[in-house]
Structure 1
Amino acid sequence: MAVSTMQAVNIIGFMDEIDDVITVLGESGVFHPDDVSVFYNNTQGFSHLQTKNIYAEHLTNLKASLGLTKRQFPLVDVSNFNPTYQDIQLFCNKICDELNELVEDRDFAAEQLLEAKQNLDETKHFVGLDIEIEKLLELKYVNARFGRLPKDSYVKLENYKDDPYIDFSVCTEDKAYYWGVYLAPADKTEEIDRVFSSLFFERCDIIGVNSTPTLHMKKLTALIPHLEDVYKDTEKRIDDYLSINKERILKYLSKLEELSLYSTIRTKALQYNKSFIIVGWVPTEFAKQLKKRLCKHRSVTVEFSDAKNEIKKSPPVKLKNCFLARPFEFYTSMYGVPKYNEIDPSLFVAITYIIIFGIMFADVGQGICLTVVGILMYKIKKMAIGKILAPCGISSAFFGLVFGSVFGFEHLLDPMYKALFGLEEKPIEVMSSEMATKIILVAIGIGVFLLITAMFLNVYTSIRQKDYGRALFSTSGVAGIIFYSAIVFGIAGQLLFGLPVFNAPYIIFLIVIPFILIFFAEPLGGLVNKEPDWKPESWKDYIVENIFESIEVLLSYVTNTMSFLRVGAFVLVHAGMMMVVFVLAETAGPIAYWPIVVVGNVIVMVLEALLVAIQVLRLEYYELFSRFYSGEGRPYEPVKLKLTQNS
């Protein structure tokens, strides 16, 4: 649970060397720029070098034109390519104009081809008409409506057989529709249209057909190959153009990406007289190497300071975790990045999430399936959640062995238990009333342990942040740990073991006094932290307000603990859902038995995996993170050009 150590860097030099300095910082790929005003309280006399990214518009236009070609343009190394701004401007304008013209020709050809194919598809439905469609549409006193009518609706036309104007001439048919035309006198068109609309008639606009459908189809059939050749020719012209200009396009595109990216450094830099000032952050392991490169420039001075001494400037955070915790940085980042002097909870999340998920989704077979699905999700789809599901599936398979469940078969592993432990059947029968009670109690025990652990993490974090008041007197501080632990262990000792725990000294020293400390946490914390205004403005108002807040504090202890009941509840839910699957399978008979078992397992696995994943994440965020983690830091985002990136 750690973050990479950072160094604050302050760079000052003459203006004639700023471009070289920015290039060094950009090429390093480790420099996180910051505002000079963050480092300097007084910036009078300073001026901005550049208020906006002058390359952004050219880059956007070039990428838009290249995107229209539907080709890929990987970035390349342009360290030795240094065109002027005017060169870039002229090149982008020229390439964009020429490409846009080629793309317009291609799109026009594609539009003509698509229109011809759609026209052919529509016209073929009316081959039964031996009349020129355009002439039919030009009739002055009669309106023609081409389209399709559902076969069910066609039967209903019998209801209108007494109306001479309601008639539908069928040309062709398919599985669901009759295609054809109906004619309506101009003065009755609106009324007849309403009738056919109620029968779900769908109009088809056939225009530009100045011959019979059969002849028009022949023309289109001959025209489409020609249009396809025209379209292929426009595509070839684009390919030829890109082939000739590819090297220059890639260079200018990559240079624009680089300059646009490096402009983020320039826009944050300030000028003072003939000098510039650039500030930012660098991981400690890269600081010496960067300083060595920067100091090659005669006017440049570089100063580093440890980020732990610059906490007020909010150093960016680069997470640094082992292989197990690294995938769970995804969940940590969703909640918020830790502050620089705050612990990274990714490892804590990894351990607790995997274990709790496994308990709630305990099944050997389904756990193995979940592991395979997780691996495939990451390997094929590159989904971050896949790397989380894989270890969760392994945990589920492990706890499936503990509970003796394999695809819902609760006694399939009985021979293993007998061979290894001499037992006649599995030791934990989830659905028995006695065991169900124990599972619920164990779930609450897990919750108590994790909540106390979260409180200890809060104490550790508070000490790191030198907030001794919060470490001692907050609801998740030392006073909170003593108060909560005393009540929980007192109730457990009294109810489960019959021990007379709640005697006068126990209540006074372990419950009453810690609660009083929590009640007065704000002024006591301010006093311990040596804050000048530690006293509240009105003690009376403070006490009245904190009476209501204390009720909320007490409820939070109860609700946080009770939330872990869902851990035990899902153990029982899993067994219950699979029991329903087997009851349905046995009721259906021997032929349908295995299909129902398989489908039931799939449904339960998908549904329960989703629910368990959400519920465990909820426990992490609301019950545990709220005790020790703020997530109010900012991520480390260095200026870095990725050559493998595609435009």
Structure 2
Amino acid sequence: MRRVAVVAPEKALRESLVRIAEAGRVEIDLAGDGGPEARRRVATRLRRLRTEPGPAVLSEALPDLDALEREGRTDLLAGEAQLEERLGSAVRQGEAAALAGWCPEAEVGATAARIAGAGGALVVLRTPRGVDPPTLLSGADAATPGHPGRTVRRSFTPLVSTYGTVPYADLDPTLPAGIVYAVMFGVMFGDAGHGLLLVALALVLRTGRPRRLAPLRPLWPFVAGAGLAATLAGVAYGEFFGPTGVLPVLWLAPLEEPMRLLAAAVVLGAVLLAFAYAVGIVNRWREGGPAAAVYSTTGVAGAALYLGLAAVAGCVWLGEPAFAAVGAAIAVGGLALAGAGLYATTAGGPGGAVQTGIQLLDAMVRIGSNVVSFARLAAFGLTHAALGAIVWDGTKALADRGPVGVAAALLVFLAGNALAFVLEALVAGVQALRLEYYELFSRLFEGEGRPFRPWHLPVEHVPDPAADIGPPAAGEAARLGPAREEYS
């Protein structure tokens, strides 16, 4: 993101701003009084029309406000109000005017070329010290060309933006966050048949039909990823609409080896937490330098405490207590660093020491609870497998009772799988979201940024009269030929 200034002669400022609004690539700072008199005039006209203005539209040419009011063009009046607000925010010196703002670095050249035709210029400025630029996540700009990678990132963007705006200095977690969510969802929703249904639903969303689902079309890669992960997990579990025997068990059957599945879920959670601490260290360094990265409980200090405690637990679990001393030493070092960082944020003295001790105890308890929390991946995976087994057992029991039983068995199979699909998709979706936000994102982010909000309005172009007239016909050209020669 680059700090820019829109500079233009006073006479060319309006046209330059119209072109910027149509491109939708620049966020313009609103400063000063913003032209209250001009806004009041436009607002008064809108009130007199006594209708709610629709989506704002800009006129390419300077409009006649009286004519717009007579015609009831609330859209153009609303667009003019926004334009007047920005014109009133411009800094003027002689016959030149300028507005400051932000523009994505990749769009600076194209935007500068666009307004150059109107007589304006886009000047790159130095970012003011102490000011964080707005954040534009990778793939979040819907107006950019549809590259496959950008389409996938755009489908994952709501997962991050719902939690909060990523600080500008932090790493963009959009793509890894989407992949991790899909993996956790797949472990809990492990059934190849249900996963393929999700993939089919994603392909339906991609078509944009029915129209009621059209707003969800950008999310189709997200749904497809979750469905693919569930399908792969179902193949590993040998689940295809339950334990139907259609697929062999490639890894484990959840209901037969629940403890193994539970241990695998906790190990997966431990790996994800380690990854979150690694990203947290990078983010703290980028936000506040080496000191912030070393002493933060989501930086090196927290990571050392976590790794030390994990090493102690692992050595005890494997029956190697001798190696636990190394983990304990690492954990103590992490505690010391974290304690120094936490104490520096207090008022000092005995009260500060007590506060630091409580925060350190909370940090240790949270590490243990966070790791154990990932056991829910196995718990809900077992629930899904149990529902599938109940439906399949009922189906088999009814199928042995003649034609009527077969019909009843088919009904039980379809209704039971439909209920299991809806219920487990909802539960797995919510639980994966909870794990992502509380266990992982809480280590990635310590603050919140500001989203990039470019000024973007459609523009109503004035038709060119010359284009309607067109070139003269052959006979007309012959008739006008001598005249042209006379004035040439």
TM over 0.5: yes
Give the structure 1 partner of residue 295 of structure 2: 473
Q: Secondary structure at the match of 2:36?
A: coil
Whether 1:316 aligns to 2:134 is: yes
| 1:34 maps to which of 29, 37, 49 | 29
Rounded Cα–Cα distance in structure 1 between residues aligned with 2:191 and 2:58: 51
Distance 1:53 1:7, change over 3 A: farther
Q: Structure 1, residues 162-182: CA drift from partner, whole Å, max 9, x if none?
A: xxxxxxxxxxxxxxxxxxxxx
**What one-letter code is carried by the residue in structure 1 that aligns with 2:270?**
V
Length-normalised TM-score, structure 1: 0.61
TM-superposed CA distance for 1:583, in Å, is 3.6
Whether 1:364 aligns to 2:192 is: yes
Distance 1:62 1:581, change over 3 A: farther
Whether 1:280 aligns to 2:260 is: no
Q: Structure 1, residues 126-174: CA drift from partner, whole Å, max 9, x if none?
A: xxxxxxxxxxxxxxxxxxxxxxxxxxxxxxxxxxxxxxxxxxxxxxxxx
Rounded Cα–Cα distance in structure 2 between residues aligned with 1:427 and 1:411: 14
TM-superposed CA distance for 1:460, in Å, is 1.0
Bigger mean CA offset, 365-374 vs 596-605:
365-374
Give the structure 1 partner of residue 35 of structure 2: 49
2:304/2:333 contact within 8 Å kept? no
Q: Secondary structure at the match of 2:101?
A: strand
Q: Structure 1, residues 398-438: CA drift from partner, whole Å, max 9, x if none?
A: 11111110000242223xxxxxxxxxx65412212xx2111
Give the structure 1 partner of residue 355 of structure 2: 545
Rounded Cα–Cα distance in structure 2 between residues aligned with 1:535 and 1:454: 24
TM-superposed CA distance for 1:293, in Å, is 5.4
Whether 1:262 aligns to 2:262 is: no
Structure of greater relative contact order (alpha carbons < 8 Å, 6+ residues apart): 1
| 2:63 maps to which of 79, 83, 108 | 83
Rounded Cα–Cα distance in structure 2 between residues aligned with 1:569 and 1:257: 54
Give the structure 1 partner of residue 373 of structure 2: 563
TM-superposed CA distance for 1:616, in Å, is 0.3
Distance 1:53 1:472, change over 3 A: farther
Give the structure 2 partner of residue 305 of structure 1: 125
TM-superposed CA distance for 1:274, in Å, is 6.8
TM-superposed CA distance for 1:600, in Å, is 0.4
Give the structure 2 partner of residue 573 of structure 1: 383
**What one-letter code is carried by the residue in structure 1 that aligns with 2:254?**
V
Distance 1:314 1:441, change over 3 A: same
TM-superposed CA distance for 1:498, in Å, is 3.5
Give the structure 1 partner of residue 225 of structure 2: 391
**What one-letter code is carried by the residue in structure 1 that aligns with 2:418?**
V
Q: Structure 1, residues 284-323: CA drift from partner, whole Å, max 9, x if none?
A: 233234445556777x6753125xx446333222222434
Rounded Cα–Cα distance in structure 2 between residues aligned with 1:537 and 1:631: 22
Give the structure 2 partner of residue 407 of structure 1: 241
| 1:348 maps to which of 176, 187, 199 | 176
1:483/1:511 contact within 8 Å kept? yes
1:32/1:282 contact within 8 Å kept? yes
| 1:460 maps to which of 260, 279, 282 | 282
TM-superposed CA distance for 1:368, in Å, is 0.6
Give the structure 2 partner of residue 615 of structure 1: 431
Rounded Cα–Cα distance in structure 2 between residues aligned with 1:605 and 1:429: 19
1:33/1:279 contact within 8 Å kept? yes
Rounded Cα–Cα distance in structure 2 between residues aligned with 1:643 and 1:369: 42
**What one-letter code is carried by the residue in structure 2 that aligns with 1:395?**
A
Q: Secondary structure at the match of 2:103?
A: strand
Whether 1:437 aligns to 2:259 is: yes
TM-superposed CA distance for 1:10, in Å, is 2.4
Structure 1 residues not aligned, in runs of 5+: 1-5, 37-45, 68-73, 93-251, 415-424, 524-533
TM-superposed CA distance for 1:471, in Å, is 1.1
Give the structure 2 partner of residue 203 of structure 1: none
Q: Secondary structure at the match of 2:240?
A: coil
1:487/1:511 contact within 8 Å kept? yes
Give the structure 1 partner of residue 15 of structure 2: 20
Distance 1:400 1:60, change over 3 A: farther
1:47/1:270 contact within 8 Å kept? no
2:57/2:457 contact within 8 Å kept? no
2:22/2:458 contact within 8 Å kept? no
**What one-letter code is carried by the residue in structure 2 that aligns with 1:396?**
A
**What one-letter code is carried by the residue in structure 2 that aligns with 1:55?**
V
Distance 1:63 1:293, change over 3 A: farther
1:10/1:302 contact within 8 Å kept? yes
Distance 1:631 1:385, change over 3 A: farther
TM-superposed CA distance for 1:606, in Å, is 0.4
2:164/2:448 contact within 8 Å kept? yes
Distance 1:476 1:502, change over 3 A: same
TM-superposed CA distance for 1:634, in Å, is 2.1
Distance 1:541 1:58, change over 3 A: same
**What one-letter code is carried by the residue in structure 2 that aligns with 1:349?**
A
Rounded Cα–Cα distance in structure 2 between residues aligned with 1:453 and 1:56: 53
1:338/1:630 contact within 8 Å kept? no
Length-normalised TM-score, structure 2: 0.80
Rounded Cα–Cα distance in structure 2 between residues aligned with 1:385 and 1:289: 29
TM-superposed CA distance for 1:496, in Å, is 2.5
2:5/2:101 contact within 8 Å kept? yes
Rounded Cα–Cα distance in structure 1 between residues aligned with 2:97 and 2:230: 58
Distance 1:632 1:57, change over 3 A: farther
Distance 1:569 1:512, change over 3 A: same
Distance 1:318 1:57, change over 3 A: farther
Choose 1 or 2 for highest CA Rg.
1
Rounded Cα–Cα distance in structure 2 between residues aligned with 1:643 and 1:395: 44
Rounded Cα–Cα distance in structure 1 between residues aligned with 2:191 and 2:258: 17
Rounded Cα–Cα distance in structure 1 between residues aligned with 2:49 and 2:97: 31
Q: Percent identity?
A: 23
Rounded Cα–Cα distance in structure 2 between residues aligned with 1:357 and 1:498: 34
Rounded Cα–Cα distance in structure 2 between residues aligned with 1:347 and 1:85: 47
Give the structure 2 partner of residue 450 of structure 1: 272
Whether 1:596 aligns to 2:424 is: no
Rounded Cα–Cα distance in structure 2 between residues aligned with 1:349 and 1:315: 23
Distance 1:428 1:55, change over 3 A: same
**What one-letter code is carried by the residue in structure 2 that aligns with 1:88?**
L
**What one-letter code is carried by the residue in structure 2 that aligns with 1:465?**
E
Q: Secondary structure at the match of 2:168?
A: coil
2:199/2:224 contact within 8 Å kept? yes
Q: Structure 1, residues 548-595: CA drift from partner, whole Å, max 9, x if none?
A: 112211121112111101101111111111222234334555332221
Rounded Cα–Cα distance in structure 2 between residues aligned with 1:387 and 1:288: 31
Give the structure 2 partner of residue 639 of structure 1: 455
